[in-house]
A = this chain, B = another copy of it.
Amino acid sequence: MKQSKTFIPTMRETPTDTEIASHQLLLRAGYIRQHASGIYHLLPLAKKVIRKIEAVIQEEMEKLEAVELAMPIMQSSSLLEQTGRWSTSEKELFKVQDHNGRQFAVGPSQEELITSLISAEVNSYKKLPLTVFQIASKFIDEQRPRHGLLRSREDIVKDAYSFHTSNESLQMKYDEMRQAYANIFARLNLQVREVVSLGDGMNQEPVHQFFSISDAGEEIIAYSDSSSYAATIETAEVNIDYKKSTELQKEIEQVDTKDLRTIKEVAAFLNVPSSKIIKTLIVKTEDGLVAVLIRGDHELNMEKLRSVVSSSKIEMASEEEVATILSCNVGSIGPVKLPIDLKVYADNAVASIVNGICGANINDVHLVNVNAERDYAVDQYADLRIIQEGDPSPDGKGTIRFAKGIDVGRVSKLGTIYSEALNASYVNEEGKEQPFVTGSYRIYISRIFSALVEQFNDANGIKWPKKLAPYDIHLLTINMNDEVQKQLSEELYHLLTSYRYNLLHDDRDERAGVKFSDADLIGLPIRLVVGKRASEGMIEVKFRDTGETVEWQKEEITEKLQSYFRE
């Protein structure tokens, strides 16, 4: 392809309102342009890379006997109403009304559609299991779109769905999918971590997510420095056998803590580590208020608490709600002499505190030398806190570290959630109606494309891996008005095209400096420069990855290229 004939609008300057490398480089190198907030054009170079990513995914899906189809983007509201998504995801849905007043969502994902379709057509266990997939645009009215394609409102996604007669069959497909995803990311050269995480939406089961580790990521991953263990920080369990101090229990005392607002301030004032402080939080559950005790240096994990108290929704109690049971402000709450009917949950770490410090349920007063059982009761100890860097890995191997990650895919066991909501059933071997057991498997293609740029770049631009580059070779002609250069370039173009290389030929009437910096930005793996030494049949070669420069004779070029691309 001649560069003069294609559309690669490069930019010299770093665009304003961009923070991360992939966003900046994809704009600067002419891969994407914004149309509206969170909505982008994929320009020709991007389209080429994305087609390559899609091809890898398609191949891996087909290996699993998943069949490709295409569901509509317009989704009738009725199905989404049956699963409740029409109202629970209200904010995220782009809603449309047609000329007859019928309501549609511009498809966020297709669980309802596919479950209803399969239910209408597959009536017997004989036709199961069945796995389908599609590659399509997905629409989410993201409240704060940012970072280019990493957090956008129109994404290219591969979504697959599987239908089974049993959890065992689902588990098999789920494991196959996890492996397929690992294969996909390996083939795409994208470094990812497989992470245990919480289900989203209606799904309460843990799922496996794939994160590309990157400072551009917005999720925090807790991973072991010595094993494959990784989880989102909301999910990671804390598995520590806290040792109780051998310190003798002292007598409880009141201290005045006026003007001390934070745990840090209280700890400093009393000259103790914040791990001696017992934080007491009042939380509102479906069954009313509860108290939760957390060590001063820890943070409550609401999701763990929600699971322990078995409440589908929980939130911190408001000041007004706290006032209904206690007459002090929230900074002075403590576990001693709480109302007798208030259930008390405590994180496992709290049990090990001897002579602790806590609020006295009186404004501006704390208690010191507080001890469990002697001074206060706990109804249930559990793992209730967020994991921290330095904690031992829950699998017993190594220490937890944190990293930021870009969510690039997830596999979820949905079980019968959607099929029950939609009355989607088949007839089993005994002639009985059974809901389908289902799984859902997503890969975010446009996000992977960005994540790859995060991983493969330097100060000058993108550095595409060979298999994903939009073209294999960037051929630069320094001066298209020089007949010798022009002729050698055209000769090379035809020669290499006949060897099945895809070339981008910079035939533009631009300064050499512009051509070089554009080539660095665009990031093809190898650059062939036809310049002054064209008359000797000599070509300058630059490898984008290493920056190494060599010279090749015209006669040796096909052989050299073959050995480079074989590597």
Contact = CB atoms under 8 A, between A and B. Distances in A.
B67 A42 contact: no
Interface stretch (A137-145, A222-230, A406-414): A137-145
B117 A106 contact: no
Contact of A35 (B35, B44, B76, B126): B76
Interface string A49-87: 010000000000000010111111111100000000000
Contacts of A6: 67
Given A70-B42, A71-B35, A74-B153, A99 B106 contact: no
A381 interface: no
Nearest to A105: B96
A300 interface: no
A338 to B, nearest CB: 41
A74 B117 contact: no
A143 B69 CA distance: 27
B70 A4 contact: no
Contact of A74 (B42, B65, B130, B154): B154
Contacts of A117: 33, 35, 41
B72 A44 contact: no
Taking each of A46, A47, A70, A91, which has the highest tally of chain B beta carbons within 10 Å of its own beta carbon? A70
Nearest to A508: B126
B72 A40 contact: yes
B5 A72 contact: no
A130 B6 CA distance: 7
A418 to B, nearest CB: 16
A132 B44 contact: yes
B121 A72 contact: no
If over half of A's interface residues share one DSSP class (helix, strand or loop), that class is named, otherwise mixed; here it is mixed
A127 interface: yes
A70 B96 contact: no
A113 interface: yes
Nearest to A126: B509
A104 interface: yes
B154 A73 contact: yes
B122 A9 contact: yes
Q: How many of these chains are in the complex?
A: 2
A98 B74 CA distance: 16
B7 A130 contact: yes
A42 B65 contact: no
Contact of A67 (B5, B36, B104): B5
A95 interface: yes
Taking each of A2, A65, A72, A153, which has the highest tally of chain B beta carbons within 10 Å of its own beta carbon? A72
B72 A154 contact: yes
B74 A36 contact: yes
A134 B7 CA distance: 13
Contacts of A126: 509
A222 to B, nearest CB: 32
A234 to B, nearest CB: 25
A323 interface: no
A515 to B, nearest CB: 14
A113 B35 contact: yes
Given A7-B132, A122-B9, A69 B43 contact: yes
A104 B4 contact: no
A292 to B, nearest CB: 33
A566 interface: no
Contacts of A1: 65, 67
Nearest to A79: B35
A402 interface: no
A94 interface: yes
A69 B31 CA distance: 10
A102 interface: yes
Nearest to A129: B5
A39 B141 contact: no
Contacts of A7: 67, 69, 118, 121-122, 130, 132
A449 to B, nearest CB: 11
Given A94-B96, A99-B143, A130 B44 contact: no
Contacts of A97: 95
24 contacts: A5-B130, A7-B122, A33-B117, A35-B75, A35-B76, A35-B113, A36-B74, A37-B102, A41-B72, A44-B67, A44-B132, A47-B68, A47-B69, A47-B70, A47-B134, A73-B73, A73-B106, A73-B137, A74-B106, A74-B139, A94-B96, A94-B106, A95-B96, A98-B153
Interface of A: 1-2, 4-7, 9, 33, 35-37, 39-44, 46-48, 50, 65, 67-76, 91, 94-99, 102, 104, 106, 113, 117-118, 120-122, 126-127, 130, 132, 134, 137, 139, 141, 143, 153-154, 509
